[in-house]
Structure 1
Amino acid sequence: MAQANDKPANDKVTSGGFTKTPGWLDWYTGPTKPRFQLPAGSVDAHCHVFGPGDKFPYAPERKYTPCDASWQQLFALRDHLGFERNVIVQATCHGSDNSAMVDALKNAQGKARGVATVKRSVSDAELQAMHAAGVRGVRFNFVKRLVDFTPKDELMEIAARIAPLGWHVVIYFEAVDLPELWDFFTALPTTVVVDHMGRPDVSKPIDGPEFELFLKFMRQHPNVWSKVSCPERLSTTGPRALGGEQAAYRDVVPFARKVVEEFSDRVLWGTDWPHPNLKDHMPDDGLLVDFIPHIATTAQLQQKLLVDNPMRLYWKD
C-alpha cells in the first residue's frame, strides 16, 4: 500500500510578500490513485483553498500563514481522486474575507458549494451574493489555537440571519470542550454539522464517557450531522498499514465506523486538502480515499456518505 509523504518538500510558493509559518508542511504533490472506486457523483465535502496570497491576501489576524493552494490545484485533485464535486470551507487564514473561497465557487461550473465565515457586520446583500455564488453554510470555530473568541450572542445572531436562506452551521471544536458548548450548540436554529467527529481522543475507549457524550449529542438532536473526516489529525498509529487490506489510521476506524453506521443519513466525508497545520506528516490523499471503505463498509453506506447526504445538504436548490 502506498504510504503518506512523511517528509514533503517545503517548496511551495506563498505569494504576495507573505512568508510561510516556520515548519509548515506543504500538501503532497503526487497523491496515489485510489484503489477504492468512488460512487458516481461523489462529493469531497470538506476542503479549502489558500490564496494565492498575491490575489487574495491572508488575514492580518491569522494564526498561521500557509503555502498557496489554488482552486485550479483543488479541482485537479478532485478529478484525480474521482470526485465529481467539492464543498469548500473557508480557511481561518483568510478570516472573514471569503473572496478566495467565493472565487473558487464561481470557477467550479456548478460543481462546488461553500461554507463561509462571517461577522455580525455582514450585510444582507453580502449574504445574498454569497448564496448566489453557492455558499450554503457558515462555520463557527471554537478551536482556541486557531481563532480568537467570538461572543456567542454574535454567533447566535448570525445563525438566526442565515437560517431563512436554508444555510446550516458548521462547528469545529475539540472533544474536551463539548460539555461547556452543549447548550449553545443545541440552541442553534439550523442544521448543525460537526467537523471531524468533534476531534475525539482515539487513544481513549470508544465506549468511554467522552465519545459517548458526542454520540448522545447526535442521538438527542436529529439536526446534528457529522463529518467522519481527518483520520490523519486524530490517529496515534499513523498512516502506515500493517499489510494486506488493513486500513491506514486504523485506530480511527472504530470511531468513524460507529458514527457512519448509527447515523448513516447524517454523515459527510472530505479530504481536508490542503491539510492545514499538520505537524507530524502530510497525508497522501489517495490513501485517505482508500480509508473510506473501512468506515463505510457497504455500497449503501458509501452511497449515503459520499453522494446522497452531501447532495441533500448542499445541492437541494
Structure 2
Amino acid sequence: MDWYADPSQPAFRLPPGAVDTHCHVFGPQAKFPFAPERKYTPCDGSKTELFALRDHLGVSRNVIVQATCHGADNTAMVDAVRAADGRARGIATVRPDVSDTELRALDAAGVRGVRFNFLRRLVDSSPQEDLSAIAKKIAPLGWHIVLYFESADLPELEGFFGSLPTPLVVDHMGRPDVTRPVGGPEFSRFLRFVEENDVWAKVTCPERLSVTGPRALHGERHAYTDVVPFARRVVEEFPDRVLWGTDWPHPNLTDHMPDDGLLVDHIPHVAPTTEQQRKLLVHNPMSLYWPGEDV
C-alpha cells in the first residue's frame, strides 16, 4: 500500500522540539535501489516527502531508521540524515564484518545506533554470535541497539538482549498482543524486561498492533483505542525512557494506511499530561540522540 498522501492537520499541537524517533526513507528506487534479498518492495518515500510531513505535523527532528528493504546499504538513510542539516539522526543496519572506518564514517554522518531485527517474516535469521560481534564494535562509539521482535519471542531472547553491552531501544513496545490483558503475564514480562535492563521503549505503531483499527469514537479523533492501555502503562511506568514516532511511510501494511495526523492525535491519549508529553516527545529523544544540545 502507498503511504497516505494527504494527512490531516492534527488537533493536538506538538510541543516545540518534538522528535519523530521512528521513520524511514525508501529510495527513490531509481537512485537508491532496494536490496535483492528484501522480503517486500515498498513504494518510494523520499527524504523530501519525509521532511514535508515533518513540517506539516509540527515535528522538529527525525530519527531515520534503516528498513530491511534496503538491507545493509545505508546510503539512502545517510543521504537523508545529511540533508536534514542537523535535524536528523540515523539508525543503521550493518554486517559483522563492518570495519571501524565504516562505523566512524556513519557516526560522523549522524548515525547513533544499529537495528537488530528478529521478525521471521522480515529476515531469514538473526544469528546471535554475529549480532554480539556487531554490538562489541559499536559500543565504543556510544551507540545503542534498536530491537524489533514479537512479544511471544521475548522469553527466548531476553537473556541475549541482557548480555548486549549497549543501551537498548525496543520498537513498538515489543509488539504486544492487545487482545490479551494489559496486566497479563505476557505484557508484564515485557515491562519487567524494560525495568531490569537499560531499555528505552517506543510507544509507536498503534496501527500495526490494533484489532479495533482506526475507527473514531463518537466522531472524535480517537482511534486505535485497544492499544491505548498498553502504551499508557509504558508511559506511566517509564516516563524517562519512552519515545514516539510515526513509522512513516508505514512499510508492508496490507490492512489500511494510517493518517499521520491521526497518529499525532493518538499521543494525548497515551500521554495525557503536559509533563508526560514533554518527556515523550522532546526531553527523552533529545537526551538520547542530541545530548547536550538545546531544543
> What TM-score, normalized by structure 2, do the two folds share?
0.98
Check if 1:117 corresponds to 2:88.
Answer: no
Give the distance between the partners of 2:219 and 2:70, measured in 1 at CA.
41
Structure-2 separation of matches of 1:94 and 1:235: 27
Of 268, 271, 278, 1:296 maps to: 271
Letter in 1 for 2:243: L
Report the Cα distance in structure 2 between the residues aligned to 1:44 and 1:108, rounded to whole angstroms. 13
Deviation at 1:151? Answer: 1.3
Can you list the C-alpha shifts for 1:97-133, whole angstroms capped at 9, x where unaligned?
0000000011001000000000011111111111011
Q: Which residue of 2 aligns with 1:127?
A: 103
Partners of 1:118 and 1:260 in 2: CA distance: 31
Question: Structure 1 residue 106 and structure 2 residue 82: aligned?
Answer: yes
Matched, 1:142 2:133: no
- Find 1:77's aligned residue among 53, 58, 61: 53
Instruction: Supply the distance in 2 between the matched residues of 1:182 and 1:239 (Cα, whole angstroms).
Output: 32
Q: Distance in 2 between matches of 1:293 and 1:58?
A: 36
Q: Partners in 2 of 1:298 and 1:245 — Cα distance? A: 19
Question: How many angstroms apart in 2 are the aligned matches of 1:150 and 1:282?
Answer: 29
User: What is the root-mean-square deviation of aligned Cα atoms in Å?
Assistant: 0.9
Q: Distance in 2 between matches of 1:117 and 1:46?
A: 14
Where 1:216 maps in the other structure, the secondary structure is: helix
Q: Secondary structure at the match of 1:264?
A: coil
Q: Distance in 2 between matches of 1:305 and 1:245?
A: 23
Q: 2:205, 2:246 within 8 Å by CA — same for their partners in 1?
A: yes
Alignment partners' CA distance in 1, 2:65 and 2:86: 16
Question: Is the deviation greater in 74-83 or in 144-153?
Answer: 144-153
Match of residue 167 from structure 1: 143
Q: Which runs of 5+ in 2 are unaligned?
A: none
Aligned to 1:266: 241
Give the partner amino acid of 1:307.
V
Task: For 1:164, give the aligned amino acid.
Answer: P
1:190 pairs with 2:174: no
1:240-255 correspondence to structure 2 within 5 Å:
240-243=215-218, 245=220, 247-255=222-230
Q: Please point out which of 272, 285, 290 is paired with 1:315.
A: 290
Kept after mapping to 1: 8 A contact 2:22/2:246: yes
Distance 1:35 1:246 in 2: 8
Q: Which amino acid aligns with 1:311?
A: M
Q: Is the 8 A contact 2:26 2:46 kept in 1?
A: yes
Q: Establish whether residue 38 from structure 1 lines up as the match of residue 14 from structure 2.
A: yes
SS in 1 for 2:169: strand
State the TM-score, normalizing by the size of structure 1.
0.91
Tell me how far 1:241 sits from its aligned partner. 1.2
Superposition pairs of residues 144-159 of structure 1, within 5 angstroms: 144-159=120-135
Please give the alpha-carbon distance, in whole angstroms, between the structure 2 residues aligned to 1:292 and 1:242: 16
Aligned to 2:28: 52
Deviation at 1:244, TM superposition (A): 5.3
Alpha-carbon separation, structure 2, partners of 1:64 and 1:245:
34
SS at match of 2:22: strand
User: Percent identity at matched positions?
Assistant: 70
CA contact (8 A) 2:151 2:174 kept: yes
Displacement of 1:199 in angstroms is 0.2
Please tell me whether residue 26 in structure 1 is matched to residue 2 in structure 2. Answer: yes
Equivalent-residue separation in structure 2 for 1:44 and 1:70 (angstroms): 16
